[in-house]
Every structure is written in C-alpha cells, then in structure tokens.
Structure 1
Amino acid sequence: MLRFFTIGRTIAIFLGLLFLVGAAGLTLFLVDQKRTTLHDQAVEGAVWLSQSGIQQQLAIQFGDQKVMQEFLQRFLNRPLIASAAIFTAQGKLIESRDRSGETGGSVAAFSRVRGISNVQDIVEQTLPDELTGKPFLNLSIPVFSYANPMLYGADKDVFVRELAQARNQGAQHVLGYYQLGIDLSSLENELLEYTWRVGLTCLGFSLLACIILVLITRKISAPLSNLAQLASDISAGRLDRSFKARGTGEVYKIGAMLNMVLAELNSYKTRMDVDNNLLSMKVEERTAQLSKRNDELNKAVAQVTRTKNRLRQLAYYDSLTSLPNRQLFSEQLQLLLNIAKRDNIKIALLFLDLDNFKRINDSLGHNAGDALLREVAARLSGCIRESDLISQYFDNESRIDISRLGGDEFTVVLHKLEEKGIAGVVAERLLDALQTPMIIEGHEIVITPSIGIAVAPDDADSVEGLLKMADTAMYHAKTTGKNGYRFYSSAMRGTGVGRLKLEAELRKAIDQQDMVLHYQPQVDARTGEILGAEALVRWNHAEHGIIYPDRFIPLAEEMGLIVQLGAWTLLEACRHSIQMRDLGLKLPKVSVNVSSLQFNAAFIEMVEQVLKETGMEPQYLELELTEGVIMSNARSSTEALLQLKNLGVSLSVDDFGTGYSSLSYLSRFPLDELKIDRSFVIDYNKSTNGAKLVSAIIAMGKSLNLCTVAEGVDHNDQFRFLSAQGIDVIQGYLFSKPKPRDEFMLLLKSNPYPQQIKEILSQQD
C-alpha cells in the first residue's frame, strides 16, 4: 500500500486531484467569465444604447413618450433585460415597460437603486422583484447631455442647436436615468447549461495537461496572486503598492506595465490634489474680493442715494423752514391745476405776507427774523387739517399745502373747494394761529399776516395768473388795515400794475426829493401859545398832486425806503426850524415821527449827525415814537432812549393807548410827552368809559410828570372836555390843518389861537 503511494504517484495523484480541482476551478472560472461576459454584454449594450444620439435626449427633455417607448423596447430586445424604465434627473418616473410589451411594469424604487451614489455613476443593485419576489439586477444608467437643460430646455430648436454646437465640449449635464431590470434566474439557467458543457470538456483535457498545468500553476500562481491583489488594490483606490516580480516573463512585463500605470496614477492624483487646493484657494480669494467689492458697491449706492435726496432737498425745499420752495410749488400747482381742469373742480390759493416783517430784521437782526419765520412756518403747518390738503394726488415728499416762496411770503393750497367760504374759514384759522405772541430770543413778538385769496379756474387757470391774482388780493388786504384777508375780485384788476407804477414813482420821488413837509401847530390848551409843530411829510406828485402818507408810508416801509425817507424828513425839519428862528419866529420845538423800521442803533448815529450838520440845538427837536416801537424790546429800547436823551432831544410816545404798554416799563423810559391817540378823542362822548379812559390817561401822564398832548381835536366840545380834564397841549383841525412851511410861518406871526380859545371857553359859559 505504501509503495503504491510513491512520490511520483503521490505527485500524480496530487496533480490529478489538483488538475481535477483545477478543471473544476477552470470550469467555475469559465462559468464566471461567461456570467461576467453576459453581465458585461447586457451592461455595455445598455450603456451603448443609452448614449446612442441626441434623439433620446430630446425625448427625455421634452417628454416624447412615443420615442421613449421605442428606446425602452430596444433595451427589452436584448437578452436578459426583463424591464426598462426612464426617470428624470430628480428621480421621477417618466415611462416603464416590461418584456411582455406592457407599459407600467414593475420597477424597483429609484431611491433604493441609486442610494447616495454620485449622479454620474452607473449603479447596480440586486433587489427582489416587488411582484414575483425573484432576484433582479437593477442597473441605473445616467443619460448625459452636452447642453444644460436648465438654460436651453424651454425651446426645442435652441436646445438642438446647443447640442450640436456643444458636442466637442467637455461639460456634460444629467438629463435623466435608464433603469433596467436583468432577470438573474434566466441568467442562472443559461449558465447551468454552459457549466455542463464546459465541465465535461475540462475533464477530458485534465489528464492530458496535468503536468503542464502543474508546472504552469507553479510558475504563474504566485505572480497571478500578486496581480489579483494589485487589481483589487487599484479597484479599491489604494495606489501606494507596486507589483513585485522576478524574471522576464509576460507576468513580469504586465507587472512592470502596471507599476508604470500606478506611478502615473499616483503622479496624476498628486497633481489633482495640488490643483484642487490651488483652486480652492483661488475660489476663497475671489469670494473675499467679491464680498469686498459688494460692500463697496453698497456703500457707493447709499452715498448716491443720500446725495440724490440732498440735491432734491436743496432743489425743492426751503433751507430755512424745510417747506416746499417756489420751484416745487410751481411744478406741483401746475399738476394740480391740470387735474382740477380735468375733473372740473376748484382749488384756492392763499397768499400770505407778514405785516411789518422788515421791522423785525432791522430792530432785532436777521437771526431773530429767521427764527420768527421758522415759528410762523410751524404754526401755519399746524393749523392746516388733512381735509384741506392735496395729498390724495401727491406723496408726502411732494405736498405743497404750505410753501414758502421767499422772504416773508407763504402760500397755502386748498383742493376740491366746494365753496369760496371754506377758503375764508382756513384764512381765519391762519390769522388766529399767529395771534398768540412768539418768544424770539427773549422778546415777545406778535406778527400779523395779510392774506390774499384767488380761486381757480374762476380767477385764473395758470400758476402765474393765480399767484398774480392772490398777490393783488393780498395787497388790498394790506391797504385796508392789514391782519386780514381779501378774496380777489374783478374790481381789483389793474391795481397790481398801478402799485408797480407807484413803487417806481415813489423811489424816484425820494431820490429827486419831490417830498415836502407840512406843519401842524401844537397849541397850549390854557394860553393859546404855539408850543411846537409836528412835521408831516407829503408827496408832491406831478400828476396827482399832494399824496398823503397813509398811501405811501406803508409802501416805503415794504420797499426798504423808509430809512432814507425818515432821514430826509428829519434833516428838512431841522433846517426849516433853524430858518424860522433865524427870521425871528418863535418855535419852541419841532416834532418828527420815527418809523419802527428806523429805530435802531444806526438811527441814533443819524440823529447825532443831523444835529451836527444843521447846527440844530437838541432842545428844539422832539422825536415821536409809537408804543409798538418802544415795547418791542423794552430793555434795548430803554438804552436807545437814554442815548437819545443824552443828546438833548425830547421824546414823545405817539398814538398812546393803541398798543400794549406796560406801566411799569413806561415809568422807566426817559420820556417827555404822551400823545393821546385821536381815536380816544373822537369817541370820548360815545360812552362813559370812553371819557373815563381819556381822563385816566391824562391823570397818568401828569403823575409821571409827562406833558399830555391830545391830537385829532376838531370840535369845540372836544376842546372843552379835554381842557376840563387838564390836558396840556391841543393838536387838530380845530386850530389848523397841516400847512406848507410858508403858510405855517405866517401862522406863527399872527397866532390867532389865544383869542380863539377865549371865544371857545366863553361860549361854554
């Protein structure tokens, strides 16, 4: 038995057994190769079909079911493929078909097949069929397109052109997926038949090739093992190993070639890693630059927006009051007039001008004037209700309900005017809003407006025309007492032109000294002696004759000519007084009225200069100031009056009783005389209180050691009443109207008043 099992036999048996095992192994190998071949043929064929032109790309992109069914049938015509389906790139089933030709066959879930695989990979998953339970190999193949379906999928022609143009470009985009079901049971049946044929063939050759196979196995088993491991490492992505073989056989050459491939792959992988790092760094750098540029751009946009808003504010809004200016007012009012004309509605324009505003600037300075304008703007805005506005047609940035046209001129626009009276109600509110005194730089000031109202389209249908009519109405409001409003009427037509002509003539008259002085005597109520005269300016107009001051003095104040006119009046009065005394005429004093716009620091210097220039002795000059002038700033007025008093002139309070004097301040002023306003003299006998008031003023003047003068005395009974109350001086038509200088000089010579007073008093007896 032992001899039977010799080394050779043992080797033979071993080799026989080994060959049998080898034959069996070869059979299994060939079967496996067959299986692999069948699998690869199915997969490669499917892949080839999935990449067979742009027709299927168009069908998937635009949902052509007929074409897709044809493609699915082509897959089913191949062996082993039992079902086929098409999915979108997002995994939504488009069409499915099985070998029976029926659509909607059983298809494995897309998410189970694809899993988390890369969208571009071909994925294989063995899953049981949901209906039969048989194992199926599910093959998922992506369908690529050289054109981006998200950019060119809307238009088929554009998509086709883009596919044709992009054929040679590298970028590809996934359009969808083919999912094929390979019946593994059919594959196994085909392999079983093949296994029998191969097994028998291998068994027949096994004995003949035993030794050869043993030798070959000995020579190639080890290198083949290394090659297998190397292949496994390569497939797993491990590229850090190399193939080690000795000799010069084919295996060695294959190993050397594989080592070269590994070296190239390692080098390529290294370069890719470096390139990826560089690319990441560049992306981060570019992202930082773009972020910085974006921040800079945002800042620039914000700056441009601020500049735009600032330019709009400067172009359309008043810098002092922040109200719309003339530019915005004109543009928006024109739009409003167009709307009013289209809708057949009316709008009203209220034109406001502050009375005696120049006096504030001249007496308190422009800073106080600016503060006053701001306060006026706030009050006017506060008393306009939403129902009066035009905001339903313009946004808040363009509203022109209250606008400042310039200087002390303001406008108010009322929209959808139902009747004229509504504009009057608003005007009353505006007047009331300014009645309350304002505290400006410590001074209590009351400013009044004159308001002109024009209605479109009744009075005018253009911006220029409406402004002109409202301005004309405002001028009439000023000439009729100020602090009121007037509606424009056809009777006012032409007054605007007349006013312009009058302004031009007044300026010329002052420059050419076409003014003259008239004098009204001031008579001692007891003796009839002429104690002085009030110098009253008249305009000797070449066409209209003598024009009285109530017509041109307010105009001169508005035009800024009152200072020049007042200086001329003072100079002429002083010259005339000296001339009368040089002729031997007795005139104890001459009184000159001082406008509120004159009374400032420069006025004191001007009085001193006139006295020096004319040689007038100060005691012969009396200056008459109204209560409003003195009380506008009591502290500064006290200082100014003291300076005038130091010059030696006399000071008189004109129109006493019509203002708002405080007796405590009045007692501190260095005054010499109180002139009772003519309105009290005229109304003394109309009520008991009127007479008592006149008596109280006279008694107060005497208690302050002031000379009391009653002006406007025209009748004997007025004189007798005032004389009985102890009045000191009488001035009025009872004795004389204001007379030119020559006539007044004759009056000084004759002086008929002592005899006239005796006759008046005798008539009383």
Structure 2
Amino acid sequence: MVVTIAGKINALVIAIVVSMSVLVTGFTSISEYSLERDRLLSGLAAQATGGPDLALYLFFGAEDALTASVDGLLLPEPVHYAVIFDTEGEVILTRPSANRDKKPQFAALRKGLSQADSGLSSLDAAGHEVGGGLPGALLGADRYFHLTLPLVSAVNPMQEGISQEDFLLAASRPAAEKARHVIGYLQLAVNQRALLLQVLPGILLVIVACVIFALLCLFLSLAFTRRITAPISHLAKVADGISSGNLEEPVRVSGSGEVRDIANIINRVIADVSSYKKERDVDHQLLSMKVEERNVQLSRRNEELNRAVKQVTKTKNRLRQMAYYDALTSLPNRRLFTEQLSLLLKLSNRNSQMLALLFLDLDNFKRINDSLGHSAGDLLLREVGLRLSGCVRDSDVVAHYVDNTAKIDVSRLGGDEFTVVLNQVDKAESAALVAQRLMTTLTEPMLIDGHELVVTPSIGIALAPEHAEDVEGLLRCADTAMYHAKSAGKAAFLFYDSSMEETGLERLALENDLRKALENNELVLFYQPQVDTQAGKVVGAEALMRWRHPEQGLIPPFRFIPLAEEMGLIAAMGEWTIREACNQVKRFAAAGVVLPKVAVNVSALQFTPSFSRKVRAILEETGVDPGVLELELTEGVVMGDTSTSVQALGELRDLGVSLSIDDFGTGYSSLSYLSRFPLDELKIDRSFVVDAVESEEGASLVRAIVAMAQGLGLKLVAEGVETLEQYDFMTATGATVIQGYLFSPPVPADELAPLLSPWHFQEQIQGLEGNIQR
C-alpha cells in the first residue's frame, strides 16, 4: 500500500510537470515560428524592393545581372526558388531552373490584388490554400509561402531612349517627385518545412529546459516520498530477506512505536531461522563433500574423452582439407569443385534455373614465374584467390582449377587457372557483370616481393543448360571461350558460342602456317613516317610487321602477333624485324635515300637478358650506324624487373641505340621510371590524342605528359594523328613530331622512298596551318 501511494504521488507530479512543459513548448514554438516567418518575409521584401537593381536589370533586359540578383535572394535556406514575371504574368526567369514546372499560376498568386500591391499566400503542391502557421509546416514538406512583389520603375517603360543613368537618376528622386510604373513581379517561394527547421534549434532549447525542469521536479518528488516511506520499505526488505534465508543480523530501525514492534517480531523470527539454518548447513556440507569427490572423477573422464574427440576431429578435418582443398590458395580443388558443380547442375536442372561457369586464366603468368621466381608466383596466386573470393556471393563457388592427376602440394606451382560458378543466375548479363567485377578487382596493382605487379585475366563464360548440361561439357565450353578471349587480345571476357569451335580449327591452321612464315619469307615490313612539322620533313619511320599469307593475303599484326607470343616465335620474329629494318636502311642508303631513323617495336617476351647481345650482333652484321635504330618498348617491358631492366637498357644505350617508350600512359607502372631509365623518346598513345580533342580532361592529361617529357629532356612523338583538330592541338601543345594517317598510312619500303625527300610534306603542312588559321 505504501509503494502504491508513493507511485500515485510521483505520477501526479509527473502529469502536472509534463502538461506545463507541453503548453510552454507549444506556445514558444508557435511564437518562434511566426516571428521567424515575419522576419524572413519582411527581409526578403526589403531586399528585393529596397533598391532599384531588380527593376533596372528587368527594364534593360540584363539577364545575367538579373539572374545574379535573384540568386542573392535565394541565399536563405527556406527560400527554394524565385520567379520573375512580366506585367502580363508571363515567366521571364526561374531560379533555380530545375523548379520551372513546380510553380503555381500567376493568376492564383495575384488573385484579389491590385497591380501595385504585394501579395502573400500559403499554398500546397496542388495550389490549394493552406494554413501558414506551425501546424501547417508540420503537416507537409510541399507547403510554401508565396511572396509576390511588384517591381516598379520611376521611368515609363513605354518611353524610348532611356539610359541606365536616366533610370537611376529617376529612381533616386524623392518618392513624392517620381511616378511608379509596375514593370514586372517577383515571386519568392519559402518552404514552410525548411523555415521550421531554421527555428528548430530554439525550439529544442526550450524543450531541453522543460525536460530539465521536469527531471528536477521528479527528483524532488522521489526524495519527498522516499523520506516518508523509508522505514516501512526497510522493514519490507528485511521480510524479503528472511523469506529467502539471507538475513541473520538483528533489525535496527528508527520510527514510531508501531515500527519498533514490527522490528522486534522480525528479530525473533530471524533468531529462529538462524538456528535452523546452522543445522541444515552441517548436513549440506557433508553431502557436498561426497558430490565434489564424484564430480572430480567425472571431470577427469570427460577431459580424456574431449581430447580424444578433438584429435579425431582434427585428423578428419586435415584429411578433408588435403582431399578437397588446394594447399596453395585454400580454395576448392578440382575434386571438390567437380562434385559441387555436378550437384549445382542437378539443382539448376530441377528448378529450371540458369547456372554460369566462369573460367579464368591469368595473362602472361609464366613471365612472372620466369622473371621473379616461383615463390613470387605462389604469392600472386594466393592474392588472386583472395580477391576472387571477395568478389562473389557466399553461395557461389570459387576453385583453383588444376590437373586432377597432380598432387596437392608444391608440384602445382604453375597452375594459374581459376573457375567461378554462379548459381541461380537470372540472366546472362548478370554473369557478364560478375566477370567485369572480377577483371576490375584483379587488375588493381599487387605488391609481390617488393614488386608492383598488374595481372589481367582472360575469362570464358559458359551457361547451363544453354551451352552444356554436364560438368565436362560446361568446362570445355568455358575453356574454349576463355581461349578465344585470350586470342582476342587478353584482358577480356567472352561468352561461349558454337562458332568458336570452327574458329578454333581456323586458329590451329593459322598456327601451323605461322611456323612456316619465316622459312617461306612471308613476313614483310611496312613503314609509317614520323614527320617533323617544323622542318617539314621525315625524321624517322616506324617499322610495322605484316604477314603476306599465300591464301589469305595480307594479315594484320593483331591476328598473328599474339599467336607468335603464345607459340614462342616472337623472339625469332623480333630479331628478323630488327635485321630487316637495318638492311632496309642500307638499301635506302645505296639508292641515295636517307632514312634518319627506323623504330622497331620490342615484345615483352623478346626483352630477355641476352637481348642486348643479339642487337649488337645484328648491328655488326648489317653494318648500319646504331644511332639509326630506335627500339620502342612498352611500360610493361621495362617494369618487369627494375634492376635487370636498367642494366639491359644501359647496355643498349652504350651501343648507341635510341630508346623510346611506346603507348605511354596506358599501363599501370610508376611514372618514376622515366627519370631512372636511360630513355630518349616518349610516344603519346593514340587514345590520348583522340581524347585530347574530345574532352578537357583528356587535353589536360596530354599537356601534363608533354610538360613532363620536356622537363625530363625527352623527345616527343604523337602517334595516331588523323584529323586537323588533333594535329592543331598536338603541335600547339609542343608535340611537333607527328605519326599518323593524316600524313601517311603504313606503306611498303618502295612507297616510303619518295616520302623521304627533303621538304616532301612542307606543302601539306602549310595547307594544314592555313586551315587552322581560317
């Protein structure tokens, strides 16, 4: 009963305090909102009509100045947009322009107002009149105060020949001496909800004060009721302690005579309970000793069983790990992958769902093993496995695909093929999205043994049941698609298509023919001139390999160069290119034609420690000046092993050969190598040349490349220049040596000879300059 009374007293106090707090908060909120609304609207009206700016800009049609002035009125956060109307209600300007279709009709805003009156209306998004107080702001975020102000001029708008000085002079006259002509209207839309948010900090401050006051009142109420009911509450707690057997000490309380009588009765009960408890404790102690002895025996036996179970479980898990998982990457091996894929195919077939298999092969992985060692290759494979696992769902399967006859140990160091199974695929495009995500993740640079490496995957995608319904068939389709993705230039993904089987046969025939191309003298060189636009002459030519197939005719390099790299023929073909280019220089010289420089591309697979010795031997064999030969290297060639690359490039420079970086900027290597490696020239890739005239970002990038090259003392060649706009930009930026179809496509040696005559391109360059000036 005591607790109930105290609770009622506290509840009454809380109810009174809360009611007062709500009333104070409500009154203050409404007052603050109204004051802020009137202050904002008055300030906007004064700012808009206090000076002649808006009327001046509107009178003379100064749209930019009018826009700037109107934007100044939009600085307060609650002001969402502004509209300028002419006297007929036609919209002249809306700021921001995105609110052009959200404004109410002019007639509705000026309804019941004379021409020179200011108007204020409160409307919702549908244009209906709504309340303008605090409740209205709480009800909807689409409610606005629409303030319409007439823009007046002291000059008659029909009068002609008025200058801005006349207008300002008329506006500066005293009000009694000037006429007022309404030349337009300004509408300002103030969002009621945003206005409420502006005064919300003040309202929150009042609420906090009310809460503090309520807590203080509650604290005083609790202290008062506790003082009254403390003795009886103490006795109640003592009684609870006795009932639970936890109280043995006598009770001492202060209070009236009735409280003392109750305390004496409780003390007698405590004495009886204590005597009974001592007897019970003796019996409990004897029983506990017997139970503890038995528990010790059971615990010992339980520990022995647990150790045995852990050992068996550990052995079982180790055997499963060895049987089903790749020891290198901890991914499922071929055995587990095949079992899971077989199960998923059955489930997909039963549920009529699509399943996708992605077959990944790392491009040029053998080069990493050969240059950095197998330990670096192992670290790379682990990192690839981690990245693949992070790109797919938990329900998908990632496996390190290795030959099923290989053991699960270090004998599988060369395995660079991975598979990803996507179950419950809704459409083929979903598999393409995952493939693109995998490529993006894998192409991010990896730090392996202090080397920053970038690997790209070639991915083949096969769908079940569209392409195959069993494990072996699906693997074969995905592997075929991956093979074609690698043949198409690597770093790509392709879906399986039945036509790929025929393409595979064609590729096999092309490989057989390519092995005989060198022996049958089917390879030829075409030359694309590099023109100095300042001197008007050819300063060099790039030697480009072509294959004259006896049946298919002239085959471009993108079809057979990747094949040559995979087949291991690129080194021999590269040596032939250097030798043939040097011999052509000699033939030109014998005919009285001077080719100042011939540039030859060097494959990454061709750039070995013995490469400089082979170049020396070719130069000695052909007897040409080493300064005539320029070797074009990609960023990947020189960044494979920095110390080895620096040594090899130094040996080539000692021979007198010029060194150029081809396709600069398209790789992922650090730009610091430009200052560390002995380079002579930098070639700006065609993709940058195209982007430079299509976007400001591309133009800024090319300017930065040119400035960097000039700062490092490197020569510049812009390749792939085909249009007048590209020519104008590159020459104006500082790349004055141009290579591209604008001057000449790659041509045979006999067609190149006439282009090498002095001043051959002078007339064409003058024509280009004339077109640029026009």
TM-score normalised by length of structure 1 = 0.53
Show the counterpart of 1:712. 720
1:515 to 514, 523, 527: 523
Take 1:327 and 1:504, find their aligned partners in 2: how far apart are those partners? 35
| Cα deviation code 1:98-128 (max 9, x no counterpart) | xxxxxxxxxxxxxxxxxxxxxxxxxxxxxxx
Alignment of 1:42-441 (within 5 A): 313=322, 321=329, 323=331, 326=334, 329=337, 333-334=341-342, 337=345, 340-341=348-349, 344-389=352-397, 407-441=415-449
- The two structures, once aligned, show a CA RMSD in angstroms of 3.5
| Cα deviation code 1:372-409 (max 9, x no counterpart) | 22332333244444311499xxxxxxxx9xxx997422
Take 1:406 and 1:454, find their aligned partners in 2: how far apart are those partners? 24
Q: Is the 8 A contact 2:548 2:555 kept in 1?
A: yes
Could you say if the C-alpha distance between residues 411 and 708 of structure 1 is closer, same or farther in structure 2, counting changes exceeding 3 Å? same
Take 1:390 and 1:343, find their aligned partners in 2: how far apart are those partners? 22
Show the counterpart of 2:513. 505
Could you say if the C-alpha distance between residues 425 and 590 of structure 1 is closer, same or farther in structure 2, counting changes exceeding 3 Å? closer
Alignment of 1:605-754 (within 5 A): 605-660=613-668, 662-749=670-757, 752-754=760-762
Could you say if the C-alpha distance between residues 758 and 629 of structure 1 is closer, same or farther in structure 2, counting changes exceeding 3 Å? same
Secondary structure of 1:667's aligned partner: helix
Show the counterpart of 2:190. none
CA shift, 1:673, in A, is 0.7
CA shift, 1:422, in A, is 4.3
| Cα deviation code 1:44-74 (max 9, x no counterpart) | xxxxxxxxxxxxxxxxxxxxxxxxxxxxxxx
Could you say if the C-alpha distance between residues 613 and 527 of structure 1 is closer, same or farther in structure 2, counting changes exceeding 3 Å? same
Show the counterpart of 2:595. 587
Matched, 1:525 2:529: no
CA shift, 1:756, in A, is 1.9
CA shift, 1:322, in A, is 5.7
Larger displacement relative to structure 2 (645-654 or 505-514): 505-514
Could you say if the C-alpha distance between residues 741 and 390 of structure 1 is closer, same or farther in structure 2, counting changes exceeding 3 Å? closer
Percent identity of equivalent pairs: 59
TM-score normalised by length of structure 2 = 0.53
Secondary structure of 2:540's aligned partner: strand
Q: Is the 8 A contact 2:478 2:496 kept in 1?
A: yes
Take 2:583 and 2:371, find their aligned partners in 1: how far apart are those partners? 28
Take 1:694 and 1:381, find their aligned partners in 2: how far apart are those partners? 38
Take 1:418 and 1:720, find their aligned partners in 2: how far apart are those partners? 50
Take 1:727 and 1:343, find their aligned partners in 2: how far apart are those partners? 62
Secondary structure of 1:444's aligned partner: strand
Structure 1 spans left out of the alignment, 5+ residues = 1-297, 392-399
Matched, 1:598 2:606: yes
User: Greater CA radius of gyration, 1 or 2?
Assistant: 1
Structure 2 spans left out of the alignment, 5+ residues = 1-307, 400-407
| Cα deviation code 1:260-318 (max 9, x no counterpart) | xxxxxxxxxxxxxxxxxxxxxxxxxxxxxxxxxxxxxx9xxx9xx99x959x95x8766
Secondary structure of 1:579's aligned partner: helix
Secondary structure of 2:452's aligned partner: strand
CA shift, 1:526, in A, is 0.8
| Cα deviation code 1:222-250 (max 9, x no counterpart) | xxxxxxxxxxxxxxxxxxxxxxxxxxxxx
CA shift, 1:722, in A, is 2.5
Could you say if the C-alpha distance between residues 463 and 614 of structure 1 is closer, same or farther in structure 2, counting changes exceeding 3 Å? farther
Could you say if the C-alpha distance between residues 719 and 341 of structure 1 is closer, same or farther in structure 2, counting changes exceeding 3 Å? closer
Show the counterpart of 1:265. none
Secondary structure of 1:353's aligned partner: strand
Take 1:499 and 1:647, find their aligned partners in 2: how far apart are those partners? 39
Could you say if the C-alpha distance between residues 700 and 456 of structure 1 is closer, same or farther in structure 2, counting changes exceeding 3 Å? same
CA shift, 1:567, in A, is 2.0
1:760 to 758, 768, 773: 768
Show the counterpart of 2:556. 548
Q: Is the 8 A contact 2:487 2:563 kept in 1?
A: no
| Cα deviation code 1:123-168 (max 9, x no counterpart) | xxxxxxxxxxxxxxxxxxxxxxxxxxxxxxxxxxxxxxxxxxxxxx
Kindly provide the amino acid, as one letter, of the partner of residue 545 in structure 1: G
Show the counterpart of 1:445. 453
Secondary structure of 2:383's aligned partner: helix
Q: Is the 8 A contact 1:363 1:599 kept in 2?
A: no
Q: Is the 8 A contact 1:453 1:470 kept in 2?
A: yes
Take 1:342 and 1:510, find their aligned partners in 2: how far apart are those partners? 55
Larger displacement relative to structure 2 (553-562 or 538-547): 553-562
Could you say if the C-alpha distance between residues 642 and 330 of structure 1 is closer, same or farther in structure 2, counting changes exceeding 3 Å? same
Take 1:661 and 1:435, find their aligned partners in 2: how far apart are those partners? 12
Q: Is the 8 A contact 1:349 1:454 kept in 2?
A: yes
Equivalences, count: 451
Q: Is the 8 A contact 2:378 2:413 kept in 1?
A: no
Kindly provide the amino acid, as one letter, of the partner of residue 590 in structure 1: V
